[in-house]
Structures are given as C-alpha cells and as structure tokens.
Amino acid sequence: MPSDEDLELWEQVAETVAPLKPRTPREKRAAAAPKPAPVPRPRTTRPPAMPKPPPLAPLDRRSKSRVARGAVAIDRRVDLHGLTQVAAERELEHFLHAAQEGGARIVLVITGKGKSGEERGVLRRVVPMWLSAARWRHLVVGFEEAAPNHGGTGALYVRIRRPR
C-alpha cells in the first residue's frame, strides 16, 4: 500500500499531465495545442528540361523514287545481317557517326530479311526502333524501307542529319 507521501506526490504529478484522449468537446479544445506556423520550404530549382529531339522526317515519295532509280546516290552502306543485336547496334552507331562526319546525306542500312520463323529477323524489327529513338535524332533525319533493287524489306534508306 502506498504511503501518504506517495499519494500526495502522485496527485501533484497527475495534475500536470493532460489526458491522451479528451472526453468532451470542451476538453478537446483545451487539450489542443496551438499549431506552429508552417516553415516555408526552400524552393528547389529544377534543372532545365532537355529540349525535345526534332521529329523524324521520312523520305518523301519523290526522294525515295529518285534514290531507287539511282538519280540520287547512296553515299554509304552498312551490312548488319549476321551480327548480334549488341554488335549491330554498336556498328550502326559508329557507322552513322562516321557518315555524318563524312558529309553523307543518304545511307543504306542492310538488316537482312530474316527467316520465316518467329525469332528470325530480329535486326529487321529492332533497327527501325533504334533509328526512331531520341538518342539517335542528332544523327538521323528519317528513314524508309528501301526499294526492291536495294534490298526491299531487308534494308532501309536513312537520311543523315547535318552536323551542327
């Protein structure tokens, strides 16, 4: 059993403590502490947005016809078929940089047609995706499937962007 001193001390401590859950609206208002003023957050500056890459501009029908007839020369060619995807991507990027530095305007990229199976013709499917990607826009203006005499569905005419 607690002594009289302990009970007195307990009453003093109990008077200084606020209840955890106020039981009446009046007690709720009394228990609510004033909210501190919100501290303004420092404004963070975002880095400037990267400019959007220019849109692709495929060869128009007349230009494609002139290239197919030989009236406009194909400046360079690269043959990717037989390479792995990784090696082909590396080779294509190197080729496009060299073509741009050399002043080429139209190049022929040969992907090969692939076999009739589902897993064949991987480069034929992925090379257009690579050429469409934003990271290649500084090199590529646009591209189109080549004419039958230049490889048809297994090759692409690629317009090279002029260096800045």
Q: Please, are residues 100 and 154 in contact by the beta-carbon 8 Å criterion? A: no
- Note the pLDDT of residue 6: 85
Helix, strand, or coil (residue 140): strand
Residue 42 in domain: no
pTM, whole model, 2 decimals?
0.65
- Note the pLDDT of residue 18: 75
- Give the structural domain span for 103: 61-160
Q: Please, are residues 92 and 107 in contact by the beta-carbon 8 Å criterion? A: no
Residue 50 in domain: no
Helix, strand, or coil (residue 96): helix
- Note the pLDDT of residue 30: 58
Residue 107 main-chain phi, psi, to 5 deg: -125, 160
**Whether residue 71 sits in one domain with residue 16:** no
Residue 47 in domain: no
Q: How many domains does the chain have?
A: 2
Helices marked H in the chain: 4-16, 25-31, 61-69, 85-101, 122-132
Q: What is the pLDDT along the chain (164 residues), one digit of tens a residue?
A: 778 888 888 888 888 877 676 556 665 555 566 677 777 777 777 777 767 777 788 888 888 888 888 888 899 999 998 899 999 999 999 999 999 999 999 999 999 887 755 556 888 889 999 999 888 888 999 999 999 998 888 999 999 998 87
Whole-number Å distance between alpha carbons of 94 and 73: 21
Helix and strand element counts for the chain (H, E): 5, 4
- Note the pLDDT of residue 103: 93
